[in-house]
């Protein structure tokens, strides 16, 4: 009888030791996983940021929020959304905020404004609806050119967008990231 009790106690003790060992292994695994997740979040928070539409009356795109990837961009192409620091001549309606717009033309692309309409590579982009608001007469912006090396034309898709059609090509150095639509 005593040996049965001793055996039962030994078995229970062994089970308890196994349980403690399992608990220790799980605890170490959870701490290691937490450290990996924390490191990933830290790295992601340096690379990505949330950008919100700040222009209330002169919106340029039909979106409200963007996830901006701040990793250096090797190649910019037409159709990309980019966030940039607006040059001084582009802050009339936006202030000194970083703004998100669409890359509509890259270095070497041709643009022209005729009859208050902007064409990029001979395709109509849109009218210049803000001329009167800017105190300019119809035809005042008419002209043509080629986007210089190291620059892009950034445009909005809404009629009230204050963009490169009014203040010219944007230096690529002003671009702070590639934006992706969230809302």
Q: Mapped to the 3 state alphabet, what secondary structure does the chain carry?
A: CHHHHHHHHHHHHHHHHHHHHHHHHHHHHHHHHHHHHHHHHHHHHHHEEEEECCCCCCCCCCCCEEEEECCCCCCCCCCCEEEEECCHHHCCCCCCCEEEEEEEECCCCEEEEECCEEEECCEEEEECCCCCCCCCCCCCCCEEEECCCCEEEEECCCCCCCCHHHHCCEEHHHEEEEEEECC
Q: List the single range of 41-55, 117-131, 167-181 with lowest mean pLDDT.
A: 41-55
Of 118, 122, 100, give the one whose Cα is nearest residue 109: 122
- What is the predicted pLDDT for the residue at 43? 61
Burial of residue 107 (number of CB atoms within 10 Å: 0-12, 13-18, 19+): middle
Number of other residues whose CB lies within 10 A of the CB of residue 82: 24
- What is the predicted pLDDT for the residue at 30? 72
User: What topology does CATH give the domain 53-181?
Assistant: Umud Fragment, subunit A (2.10.109)
**Mean pLDDT score, 55-76:** 83
pLDDT band, residue 60 (cuts 50/70/90):
confident
| 44 pLDDT more than 60 | no
Query: Could you tell me if residue 54 is left (phi over 0), alpha (psi between -120 and 50 degrees) or otherwise beta?
Result: alpha
- What is the predicted pLDDT for the residue at 111? 98
Q: Calculate the average pLDDT of the chain.
A: 84
- What is the predicted pLDDT for the residue at 17? 76
Whole-model pTM: value is 0.75
Question: How many percent of the chain have pLDDT more than 90?
Answer: 52
pLDDT band, residue 119 (cuts 50/70/90):
very high
- What is the predicted pLDDT for the residue at 160? 83
CB 99 within 8 A of CB 156: no
């Amino acid at each position: 009888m005593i040996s049965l009790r001793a055996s039962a106690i030994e078995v229970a003790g062994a089970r308890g030791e196994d349980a403690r060992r399992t608990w220790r292994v799980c605890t170490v695994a959870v701490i290691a996983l937490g450290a990996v997740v924390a490191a990933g979040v830290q790295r992601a928070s340096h690379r990505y940021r949330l950008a919100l539409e700040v222009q209330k009356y002169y919106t340029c795109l039909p979106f409200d929020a963007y996830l901006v990837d701040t990793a250096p961009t090797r190649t910019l192409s037409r159709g990309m959304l980019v966030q940039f620091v607006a040059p001084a001549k582009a802050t009339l309606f936006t202030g000194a905020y970083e703004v998100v717009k669409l890359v509509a033309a890259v270095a070497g692309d041709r643009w022209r404004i005729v009859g208050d309409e902007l064409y990029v590579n001979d395709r109509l982009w849109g009218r210049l609806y803000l001329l009167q608001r800017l105190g300019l007469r119809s035809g005042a912006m008419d002209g043509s050119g080629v986007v210089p090396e190291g620059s892009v034309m950034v445009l909005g898709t809404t009629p009230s967008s204050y963009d490169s059609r009014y203040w010219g090509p944007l230096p690529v150095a002003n671009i702070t990231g590639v934006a992706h639509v969230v809302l």
